[in-house]
Amino acid sequence: MANYGHFDDSNREYVITRPDTPLPWLNYFGQDEFFGMATQTAGGYTFWKDAKLRRLTRYRYNNNPMDNDGRFLYVKQGKSVWNPGWKPTRTKLDAFECRHGLGYSRITGKKDGIEVEQLMFIPPGENLEVWKISVRNKTKKPQKLSLFSYVEFCFFEALNDMTNYQRTYSIGEVEIEGSAIYHKTEYRERRNHYTLFGCTRKIDGYDTSRDAFVGVHHGLHDPKAVMAGKCTNSRAFGWNPVGAQQINLSLKPGQEETFAIILAYVDQGDLPKFDSPMVMNKTKGKEILAKYSDMKVVDAAFNAVKARWESLLSIYQAPKVPNEHLQRMVNTWNQAQCMATFNLSRSASGYETGIGRGMGYRDSNQDILGFVHLLPARARQRILDIASTQLADGTCFHQYQPLTKKGNADIGGGFNDDPLWLILSTCAYIRETGDLTILNEPCGYADKPGSKDPLLHHIETSIQYTLNNRGPHALPLIGHADWNDCLNLNCHSKEPNESFQTAGDIAGSKAESVMIAGLFLYATRDLVKLYHFMGQTQDASRIQGHYDDMLKTVEEQAWDGAWYTRAFDAESKPIGSKVCKEGKIYIESQAWCVLGGAGQNNGRAKKALQAVDKYLYTPEHGCALQYPPYSTYHSELGEVSSYPPGYKENAGVFSHNNTWIHIGWTMFGEGEKALEYYLSICPSAKKDHDVYRSEPYVYAQMTASQFSPTPGEGKNSWLTGTGAWSFVVASQSILGVQPDYTGLRIDPCIPKKWKGFSVSRKFRGVTYSIEVTNPKSKSKGVKSLKIDGQKIAGNVIPLPTDGRTAVKVEVTLGA
Ligand code: GLC
Ligand code: GLC
């Protein structure tokens, strides 16, 4: 078993100790409007707000070698040419380390006594990326070398950039002044922004033409200029503009040189665009470079990145958890993943190209569940933005572009689970903050220009939408799909180039989803509690009535004997039923019926979970999405049957839906099972990285299942709803600290052998230091709760009314 690295928990870093990881292992920079992605070999790209419309540097997906565009440094010393991050030259290094931290990565490479460190990060609130570069002579002799920097510029609109070469090869423009390269393609016409690629140190040469620096018949592994040891001072006219700088260094024994390279998105604002024809006004770019030429400013900016994360993470910390994997995930990496999914939804990662999908309606609502405690004000704005892409009849645009905040017409709406997720995010926000004003905030409907209907109106519209769109069993119609984007019961596609998500006609269809019914139960129950909290008891009973009706329908129509049926197809035939030859049991309907409260009084909920355990679960990889996988394509089922068996929605282990089952086990007090299941998909707990291949510090969307030829192989890491939901599982369901309307509710569900743990939680301005002890070896049930030494009844900590901002909570399990 190869060893590629380890966690450094005290520094909240993952340390990669060899560069040739089984797949590129990615990290993110930025949490405001500017973002970068970097792998352990410095691959990746950078963009402002929107990876499709404002991409600064290029990246080629499905390339070979993989991950071969990025922020590269080359060292040329004598005959030897190498990169501190190993790639692209892949020259053997004497030492390599990449520390992926929260919001930064630090790559250090060493060869022949020269050490180069590249620390990359995005300062809070700034639209720029800093590479702090340190070059050290670790030998006892003077050394001479040249260092070259390299990025390839993207022409901002990434799709056109990678498809329309008859145009792009003639429009590239740059300017060079001092140590800075200004990429200004399309600036003469409609763009009012440019990219700055500047070095804070005097440079000894540059290139901006890729043909000159790399060479038409060379590659990034042997760029012509680096091999020759000299840049050509080329100016790009069209073709592929790049930023490359040459820095010659003479270092005494033990000497270190430190400087920075800045990659910035510069908006010209109201400044005049040009100093003279063809010469842009570079005032802002120069100011940026001048500012960061002071290394103290660079260091302060880096410290600000770290300080910001420390402060965010201090909101939830569980320092004494008996399981190291759960502890590090819940305290550090899971929260980092929640930040990434909140900011980027499913847009830009190693698998999401940044051009395909913007923000997802269902995705972003769920992402809020794991993020709202960190920055509730941003969650609030996001909820309102999302709601504004809903139509007056309740239909939701399935995606929207973050730059314009407008619904994406290509994909449209008709994913019938979408509206309900808004209720979950809104309730989570109010439970966290107690702020009911969000409900009155006007957000309007996308098809009613100027409308000002408040958020609460959207929530009622969403409930009504589900009620209005029901099929022959009185279950909700599925539309194009529900949470499972690949269960396309109305698509009937026979045309290979069609999108499963949009093909087919949903008007008049009968196909129904039990998963949506379960989600409706969950959402209405949430809403009932919210109305009670608001003191609107009539509304609470009205919604309770809808809950009761739907529950009755589910129990009458959707119980299959040993588990809940998944759906009914366009001909009203059951899916996920014992009568099916393949796809007999699906995970989502078990999860949502149980979470929604079905099967509580008749034993079915427990049976449904046991069926998951029997047919879908393995301790090594987690639960497959369904069983048995479809071996052939079924046009009446759509994309789910398009994947080879054991991958993606065709019975792969889809981590996201596993988390709901984890919650299910905790509802039944099954602490052992909950933790075991939690660990079965936990990236930190993966043992063989040559099998798992994906990053050990963040969840992957999917792991190839026991039904595939490559079981255990993780894929599509970072941008998955698993981030948010697994944080909910660990922090709220297992460790049991649950934000609730009137205070923190304490309801852990842990393995019996755990003696206890502690959680520090900031909640509505108060810091709660919670100590949980488990003297009687129980899994669930709070026996006593003491607040600052005072015993109270129940398990909800009341909000202090006397201005206390620190509260000590002692919890004893064993009721
Ligand atoms: C992807 C989508 C998400 C969907 C899931 C299951 O993760 O982003 O919206 O629910 O796949 O199909
Ligand atoms: C494919 C994927 C699914 C994803 C969808 C997004 O169907 O299998 O996971 O949600 O694409 O459009």
Helices (H), 716-764: 722-727
Average pLDDT over residues 586-612: 98
The active-site residue out of 485, 560, 740, 747 is 485
Q: Which amino acid is at 539?
A: D
Please report the pLDDT score of residue 410 as a whole number.
Answer: 87
Concatenated DSSP letters for 593-634?
HHHTTTTSSSSHHHHHHHHHHHHTEETTTEE-SEESPPSS--
Average pLDDT over residues 530-551: 98
Residue 158's φ and ψ, nearest 5 degrees, are -70, -30
- The whole-angstrom separation of Cα 233 and Cα 741 is 64
For residue 358, pLDDT over 90 is answered with no
327 and 120 Cβ atoms separated by less than 8 Å: no
Q: Is the CB of 485 under 6 A from ligand 1?
A: yes
Q: Which of 273, 312, 314 is nearest to 188 (CA)?
A: 273
Question: For residue 483, how far is its CA from the centre of ligand 1 (angstroms)?
Answer: 6
Question: For residue 484, how far is its CA from the centre of ligand 1 (angstroms)?
Answer: 6
For residue 36, pLDDT over 80 is answered with yes
pLDDT band at 357 (very low <50, low <70, confident <90, very high): confident
Per-residue pLDDT tens digits for 249-304: 999 999 999 999 999 999 999 999 999 999 999 999 999 999 999 999 999 999 99
Please report the pLDDT score of residue 687 as a whole number.
Answer: 95
Average pLDDT over residues 145-155: 98
For residue 815, pLDDT over 80 is answered with no
657 and 609 Cβ atoms separated by less than 8 Å: no
The DSSP secondary-structure symbol of 479 reads B
Ligand 1 atom index nearest CA of 363: 9
32 and 125 Cβ atoms separated by less than 8 Å: yes
Per-residue pLDDT tens digits for 306-338: 999 999 999 999 999 999 999 999 999 999 999
Residue 704's φ and ψ, nearest 5 degrees, are -60, 135
Residue 117's φ and ψ, nearest 5 degrees, are -115, 135
Average pLDDT over residues 59-88: 97
Per-residue pLDDT tens digits for 115-132: 999 999 999 999 999 999
Residue closest by Cα to atom 9 of ligand 1: 363
Please report the pLDDT score of residue 773 as a whole number.
Answer: 98
Average confidence score pLDDT of the chain: 97
Residue closest by Cα to atom 10 of ligand 1: 483
Please report the pLDDT score of residue 1 as a whole number.
Answer: 80
The DSSP secondary-structure symbol of 93 reads P
Number of helices (H) and strands (E) in the chain: give both, helices first.
20, 42
Please report the pLDDT score of residue 173 as a whole number.
Answer: 98
- The whole-angstrom separation of Cα 119 and Cα 132 is 5
Strand order in the sheet with 114-121: 5-8, 13-16, 95-101, 104-111, 114-121, 128-137, 256-267, 193-199, 180-183, 174-177
Residue 635's φ and ψ, nearest 5 degrees, are -65, -25
Question: For residue 102, how far is its CA from the centre of ligand 2 (angstroms)?
Answer: 28
- The whole-angstrom separation of Cα 235 and Cα 245 is 12
314 and 760 Cβ atoms separated by less than 8 Å: yes
Ligand 2: residue of 363, 485, 643, 655 to mutate (most ligand atoms within 8 A of CB) is 485
Per-residue pLDDT tens digits for 180-204: 999 999 999 999 999 999 999 999 9
Ligand 1 atom index nearest CA of 481: 12
Residue 613 is among the residues annotated as catalytic for this protein: no
87 and 65 Cβ atoms separated by less than 8 Å: yes
Output the CA torsion sign for 368, 372, 375, 378: positive
Please report the pLDDT score of residue 797 as a whole number.
Answer: 98
pLDDT band at 2 (very low <50, low <70, confident <90, very high): confident
- The whole-angstrom separation of Cα 766 and Cα 798 is 11
Which residues, other chains included, contact 300 with Cβ-Cβ below 8 Å and sequence gap of 6+? none
Q: Which amino acid is at 338?
A: C
Please report the pLDDT score of residue 144 as a whole number.
Answer: 98
Output the CA torsion sign for 626, 628, 631, 636: negative
The helix or strand, by DSSP H or E, that contains position 547, with its residue range, turns out to be: helix 537-557
Which residues, other chains included, contact 716 with Cβ-Cβ below 8 Å and sequence gap of 6+? 349, 351, 700, 701, 702
Residue 272's φ and ψ, nearest 5 degrees, are -60, 140
Write down how long the chain is: 815
SS3 for 261-316 is: EEEEEEECCCCCCEEECCEECCHHHHHHHHHHCCHHHHHHHHHHHHHHHHHHHCCE
- The whole-angstrom separation of Cα 569 and Cα 638 is 11
SS3 748: coil
Q: Is the CB of 589 under 6 A from ligand 2?
A: no
For residue 518, pLDDT over 80 is answered with yes
Per-residue pLDDT tens digits for 723-758: 999 999 999 999 999 999 999 999 999 999 999 999
SS3 for 631-700 is: CCCCCCCHHHHCCCCCECCECCEEHHHHHHHHHHHHHCCCHHHHHHHHHHHCHHHCCCHHHHCCCCCCCE
Average pLDDT over residues 349-369: 94
Say which ligand is closest to the CA of 346. Answer: 1
Please report the pLDDT score of residue 428 as a whole number.
Answer: 98
